[in-house]
Amino acid sequence: MGYIRRHEIEILLRNYQGIKAMAESLRLELQSVSAESQTDVIESFMFHRNFDALPKGKNTITDKTGNIASRPTKMDTRAEIAREISGELFLFSTVLQKMDIALNTLRPSEKEIIELRYFKNLTWIQIADRTLVSIGSAQRCRAEAMKKITVVSRISIDDYNRLIEILNL
């Protein structure tokens, strides 16, 4: 299994806030789908209906489980959606955790330069002015930080490609 390199790490850092927002959105979406599934089950029992919301017929299989299992239901669709959302959420959460761990290994000066460059999108001149170091020193510090982030994060190429595909980048 291969791991991403500096270029891909830079793309993730530039999109870090968007990745965090997407993870939160997926969390909320999963909660919503789960809540709807629970509501469907409760309503089906309350109104003596099958899970697909159709009234029970006279000539149906007497075993409720057989009746439910004999055709696709909203529950099946929601469970499939929930599985897909869960997979995406797991991917996003894993990548974010790896990035956070990697960022926390940086020296304060390295972390500051990474944040200014990728999270605040400042130019090298602005970074040099804020950190009171030369542009060359700031760039060397960033290069050292990127090496650390790349080594520590160990994000697989497959995970990276799936994440980029989901984000449409």
In tens, the pLDDT along 118-129 reads 999 999 999 999
The confidence score (pLDDT) of residue 154 equals: 95
169: tokens are 């980048």
What mean pLDDT, rounded, does the chain reach? 84
The answer on pLDDT for 3 being more than 70 is: yes
Alpha-carbon distance 12 to 5, whole Å? 11
Say which residue, 159 or 54, is predicted with more confidence. Answer: 159
Sequence ranges of the domains in the chain: 6-167
**Which residue(s) pair with 3 in the sheet?**
156
Cβ-count burial of 75 within 10 angstroms (0-12 exposed, 13-18 middle, 19+ buried)?
middle
- For the segment 107-114, the average pLDDT, to the nearest whole number, is 97
3-state secondary structure of 48: coil
For residue 24, give both structure tokens.
């939160």
Rounded mean pLDDT, 112-139: 96
Q: What is the mean pLDDT of residues 134-159?
A: 96
